[in-house]
Amino acid sequence: MKLSYYGQHYSGPSAIVTLMDDLGSALRAHPGLLMMGGGSPARIPEVEQLFQQTLQQIAGDAEQAQLLLGRYQGPKGDLAVRELLAQQLAEEQGWPLTADHIALTNGGQSAFGIIANMLAGSSDMGHRTLHFPLVPEYLGYADAGIEPGSFSASQPTIKFLDDGLFKYTLDPALTIPVSAAALCVSRPTNPSGNVLSDAELQWLDAAARQRDIPLIIDAAYGLPFPALHYSDDSNPYWSDNVILLLSLSKVGLPGVRSGFVIAKPEFIEAFSRANTILNLAVGNLGPALALLLLQDRRLQRLSREVLQPWYKAKAETALRLMQTALLGVPCHIHVPQGAFFLWLWLPGLPISTTQLYEELKLAGLLVIPGDGSFFALHSPWQHSHECLRLSYAVSDQCLQQGSVILAQVLRRIFA
């Protein structure tokens, strides 16, 4: 095959494709494996029922079904849902938004890819990078940059907490490279379950503004939906210097491939032009479901009253089970403040996390090795070879069995 640099880059080896592939084939080969590796949301009957009813409501109405299936949306997506979301965010958060501040997307992953390449890479200003001020970060970002060296990153500070817990915070001596085209954080953070504080976000926003570059906040797990924040001291954040990414996936709709970008109108206009060239239009199902779920604010209520407490309780159960099972194993767990992952740090791990991943798979447990989440760091860091991500969007039985398998394998490896 004779491919362009673009073709070679996107069809070559990449962490996210290898991982999605391996998780899929491992499950096909061993259907009994305990799946704590993926990023799928949990199955919650009440939530599934609501989505099914909403889908039936649309499908049962000839006019709505025709609008769902039989037309393209304009470049920014359905006006009614953009107007409604802007109005509700203005009322709930005091953000001065109009429909022109919002574009619909085919999910956070595709939105991130477009935005990253709109900002980072070659330009009149030289080669510029999207800078991650705190890694580990979402593995799915790693290969999204078309040009080599599109991303850069800074190490965090590690704070040790009680009960073997730890927490990443922004390095107080953080310097933003002069070549930075934007800063980017996921909040809550995949993979660590960290939630940057309001003060940290304000600091990043001010530092970005000083450089005249935007701050990208990927709130795929965050506020206002699905609202998977477990402490009271983190609030939704937006300013006219922020590009905020929202997604319907972690609410329970990853199959719908739908999300929102919220930014100043000038950026939304540019983004929606790029999105139209690459995608022609966004899918209609996400916006159609969102419109019905936003009317009477069911989406926000579902997030606050069902999803948030459900995942918070799971986080507590998962942490308790892991801490009990791993007693005596050299392991710190990142304090689970949001999203639905436990992030384990195994100081002195004598094998690579990929070998550990394989050992765990053989023993019946699927996890995610952590190395890939430190993708944009350009200097060696031992910590980046000692971490592991486990999803707790699973049954209590799976958590229980998974913690036993993990403890057995780690005890053998550290013996």
What residues line the site for ligand PLP (CB under 6 A)?
39, 107-109, 138, 140, 186, 190, 218, 220, 247, 249, 254, 259
Closest CA to 404 of 324, 343, 311: 324
Q: How far apart are CA 256 and CA 104, in angstroms?
A: 13
- Share of the chain residues as helix, strand and coil, in percent rounded to the nearest 5: 45, 15, 35
Of the pair 73, 249, the CB lying nearest ligand PLP is at 249
Q: How far is CA 269 from the centre of its chain?
A: 24
- The answer to whether 108 touches 259, Cβ cutoff 8 Å, is yes
Angle at which helices 396-414 and 353-363 pack, to 10 degrees? 120
Of the pair 191, 402, the CB lying nearest ligand PLP is at 191
Of the pair 186, 321, the CB lying nearest ligand PLP is at 186
Q: What is the largest CA-CA distance in the chain?
A: 66
Of the pair 249, 403, the CB lying nearest ligand PLP is at 249
Please give the single-letter amino acid code of residue 347.
Answer: P
CB of 328 to ligand PLP, least distance (A): 32
| E strand spans, 90-142 | 102-105, 129-132
Of the pair 258, 403, the CB lying nearest ligand PLP is at 258
Of the pair 107, 145, the CB lying nearest ligand PLP is at 107
CB of 261 to ligand PLP, least distance (A): 11
Q: How far apart are CA 103 and CA 216, in angstroms?
A: 15
CB of 152 to ligand PLP, least distance (A): 18
CB of 102 to ligand PLP, least distance (A): 15
Of the pair 114, 181, the CB lying nearest ligand PLP is at 114
- The answer to whether 171 touches 155, Cβ cutoff 8 Å, is yes
Closest CA to 389 of 186, 219, 139: 139
CB of 241 to ligand PLP, least distance (A): 20
Residue with tokens 């952590």: 370
Q: Which two tokens stand for residue 373?
A: 């989440």
CB of 285 to ligand PLP, least distance (A): 14
Q: In 10 A of CB 239, how many CB atoms? A: 17
CB of 343 to ligand PLP, least distance (A): 13
